[in-house]
């Protein structure tokens, strides 16, 4: 028996050694290739190879073609070779962490709503040395306000994506139903104060009543993000300071507990009232189905959505249902709204200059932007006569080899073509104007680092998951459940989080002379 055991153990050991050996060989091989590549480059034109960890919504075959086309431009223009490393959005943060800790080359990383976490884990490199030289073009198009959102301790750590940021809370309602019953949305206004916002909700109550009478087997609202109808977690001039646990007071000085505020209670009153009256989907708190599925299958007449111009067109393309969309809340551009998406240089990068050169192209060179957004011209898209682009002959959404449609992500969206013949080609100038004229948070640029309170946060997130979706979809009665929610948040340590945020806010204000 012992012999057998010994044999097994030796075998296991051998195998593990083989496994280790293999992985080492593999790594060495890669390094070897990489160094060969860079050496080769040095001999010719000093072309540096950078790796762009690119988040994608789906796996596509055309990445290599796009990569080759991009390199045709970048190798001759800026001596940079880019390797596109597609990673699905769902695993993005984890994968990037693994690549960095595993010693894989990674130079350009994308922020997917995790700027402060990337910063706290020291995953981003400050850009200052290159900002006025290699990144000057990008710096100029982004402008001072946008860069503030990625500036910490006077160093810029990333470039936010440049697109229509002034996304406003809007209500989308089936147009046929509105027309057939003579219901008009003209009394809904872009609210700039809380009273106007409440007036909008009053008006919506009347509208829903008529809609419900006209279509009793449908509901009026479904959640667009799991467990929230959105309108209870925002209001005019609202800055949630990264998460909702401690938000900025209206005068911009104090960090307060939003869940204890009179405003939140008022909004919950509306949502619960609507739920009781049957305007909201019964399963709203738990459903994970997409709002568009409910709309196209005729189970709802509409939903709240946060977006910019052109929502109605997008919803119609996605669902085949013609909708009327009205913005009902003036958006506030906060740090986390602006730095939600963007690009930074990995702190492990050996080629920060090359990475910055490529980043600069992503904000200034329409050819690069359109390659990333729509693929290769002639293969993945063709230009239409009206200035928009669309699928070439014989290619459609089902058989295209690229079709990521991520024009809202890659660098400067205002340089990209507009997809879909007949679409409004002036929309970008309006989006740009909305960005410029939008309402900016008084503490724009303040990002908060939650490292010191992560124990509390993990408990608070659990409390939110327990009560939040129920309250925010109207399923739970705020009269009885809101006090429990507040109590549970307090016992999970929300006061400590608010105190920490306040401390960081005060320090930030002092450093920025505010």
Partner 1 sequence: MSKTTTKREKILWKRQIPLFLMTIPGCIYLMINNYIPIFGIFIAFKNIDYGKGIFKSDWVGLSNFTYLFKTKDAFIMTRNTVLYNLAFIIIGTVMGIAVGIMLSELRGKFKSKFYQTMILLPYLLSWVIVAYIGYAFMSNDTGLLNNTILPKLGLKPVSWYAEPKAWPFILTFVNIWKGIGYSSILYLSTIIGIDKSLYEAAQVDGASKWKQIRNITLPLLKPMVIMLVIMNIGRIFNSDFGLFYQLPMNSGALYPTTQTIDTYVYRGLMQLNDVSMSAAAGLYQSVVGFMLVIIANSIVRKVSSENALF
Residues found near partner 1 in the complex (CB under 8 A): 4, 7-8, 11-12, 15-16, 19-20, 93-94, 97, 100-101, 103, 114, 117, 121-123, 227, 243, 281-283, 285-286, 288, 347-348, 450, 454-459, 461-462, 465-470, 475-476, 488, 491-493
Q: Which is nearer to partner 1, 491 or 512 (CB)?
A: 491
Residue 270 C-beta: closest distance to partner 1, Å:
20
Question: Which residue number, 70 or 463, has a Cβ lying nearer to partner 1?
Answer: 463
Containing 487, the helix (H) or strand (E) segment is helix 478-492
Contact of 358 with 52, CB cutoff 8 Å: yes
Please answer whether residues 406 and 135 qualify as being in contact, where contact means their C-beta atoms are separated by less than 8 angstroms. no
Least CB distance from residue 123 to partner 1, whole Å?
5
Instruction: Evaluate whether 22 touches 14 at the Cβ level (below 8 Å).
Output: no
What is d(CA 125, CA 119) in angstroms, rounded to the nearest whole number? 9
Beta strands in 328-426 (DSSP E): 332-333, 341-345, 382-383, 389-390
CB of 349 to partner 1, least distance (A): 11
Residue carrying structure tokens 């509306």: 270
Least Å from the CB of residue 103 to partner 1: 8
Identify which of residues 76 and 491 has a Cβ nearer to partner 1 in the complex.
491
Q: Give kind and range of the element (H or E) at residue 23.
A: helix 2-44
Closer Cβ to partner 1, 102 or 394, answer by number: 102
Residue count of the chain, please give it: 514
Is the CB of 246 or the CB of 403 nearer to partner 1? 246
CB of residue 491 to partner 1, shortest distance in Å: 5
Q: Quote the CA–CA distance of 353 and 375 in Å, as a whole number.
A: 26
Pick the closer one to partner 1 by CB: 35 or 462: 462
Nearer residue to partner 1 within complex by CB, 76 or 458? 458
Q: Looking at 320-409, which runs of residues are DSSP E strands?
A: 323-327, 332-333, 341-345, 382-383, 389-390
CB–CB of 155/126 below 8 Å? Answer: yes
* Coil/strand/helix, residue 219: strand
Instruction: Please state the closest distance from residue 471 (CB atom) to partner 1, in A.
Output: 9
Q: How far apart are CA 276 and CA 272, in angstroms?
A: 6
Listed in order, strand segments (DSSP E) in 89-182 are 108-112, 151-152, 155-156, 159-160, 168-174
> For residue 368, what are its two tokens?
């690069």
The SS3 assignment for 169 reads strand
CB 300 → partner 1: shortest distance, Å?
11
Q: What angle do CA 380, 385, 389 make, to 5 degrees?
A: 30
Judged by beta carbon, residue 358 or residue 485, the one nearer partner 1 is: 485
CB-nearer residue toward partner 1: 114 or 330: 114
Least gap, CB of 466 to partner 1 (angstroms): 4
Q: How far is the CB of 105 from partner 1 (least distance, A)?
A: 14
Q: How many CB atoms lie within 10 A of CB 248?
A: 24
């Amino acid at each position: 028996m012992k012999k057998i055991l010994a044999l097994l153990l030796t075998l296991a050991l051998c195998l593990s050694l083989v496994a280790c050996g293999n992985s080492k060989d593999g790594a060495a091989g890669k390094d070897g290739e990489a160094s060969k590549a860079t050496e080769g480059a040095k001999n010719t034109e000093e072309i540096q190879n950078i790796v762009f960890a690119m988040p994608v919504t789906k796996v596509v075959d055309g990445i290599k073609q796009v990569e080759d086309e991009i390199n045709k431009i970048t190798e001759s223009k800026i001596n940079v070779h880019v390797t596109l490393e597609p990673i699905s959005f769902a695993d993005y943060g984890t994968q990037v962490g693994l690549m960095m800790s595993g010693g894989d080359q990674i130079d350009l990383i994308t922020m997917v709503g995790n700027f402060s976490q990337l910063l706290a884990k020291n995953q981003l490199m400050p850009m200052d040395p290159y900002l006025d030289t290699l990144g000057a073009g990008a710096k100029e198009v982004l402008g001072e306000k946008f860069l503030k959102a990625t500036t910490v301790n006077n160093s810029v750590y990333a470039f936010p994506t440049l697109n229509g940021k002034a996304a406003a809370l809007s209500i989308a309602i089936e147009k046929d139903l509105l027309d057939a019953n003579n219901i008009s949305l003209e009394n809904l206004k872009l609210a700039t104060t809380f009273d106007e916002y409440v007036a909008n909700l009053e008006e919506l109550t009347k509208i829903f009543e008529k809609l419900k009478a006209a279509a009793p087997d449908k509901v009026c609202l479904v959640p667009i993000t799991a467990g929230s109808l959105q309108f209870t977690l925002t209001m005019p001039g609202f800055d949630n300071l990264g998460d909702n646990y401690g938000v900025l007071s209206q005068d911009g000085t104090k960090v307060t507990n939003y869940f204890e505020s009179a405003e939140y209670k008022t909004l919950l009153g509306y949502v619960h009232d609507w739920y009781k009256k049957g305007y909201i989907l019964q399963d709203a708190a738990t459903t994970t189905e997409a709002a568009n599925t409910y709309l196209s299958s005729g189970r709802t007449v509409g939903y709240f959505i946060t977006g910019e111009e052109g929502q109605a067109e997008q919803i119609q393309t996605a669902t085949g249902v013609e909708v009327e969309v009205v913005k009902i809340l003036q958006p506030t551009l906060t740090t986390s709204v602006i730095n939600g998406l963007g690009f930074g240089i990995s702190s492990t990068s050996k080629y920060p200059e090359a990475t910055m050169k490529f980043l600069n192209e992503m904000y200034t060179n329409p050819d690069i932007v359109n390659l990333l957004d729509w693929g290769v011209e002639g293969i993945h898209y063709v230009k239409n006569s009206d200035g928009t682009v669309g699928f070439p002959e014989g290619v459609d959404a089902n058989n295209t080899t690229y079709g990521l449609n991520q024009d809202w992500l890659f660098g400067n969206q205002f340089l990209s073509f507009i997809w879909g013949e007949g679409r409004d080609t002036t929309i970008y100038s309006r989006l740009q104007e909305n960005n410029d004229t939008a309402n900016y948070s008084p503490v724009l640029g303040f990002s908060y680092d939650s490292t010191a309170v992560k124990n509390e946060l993990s408990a608070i997130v659990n409390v939110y998951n327990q009560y939040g979706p129920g309250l925010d979809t109207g399923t739970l009665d705020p009269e009885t459940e809101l006090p429990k929610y507040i109590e549970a948040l307090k016992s999970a340590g929300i006061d400590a989080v608010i105190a920490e945020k306040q401390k960081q806010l005060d320090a930030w204000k002092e450093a920025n002379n505010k």
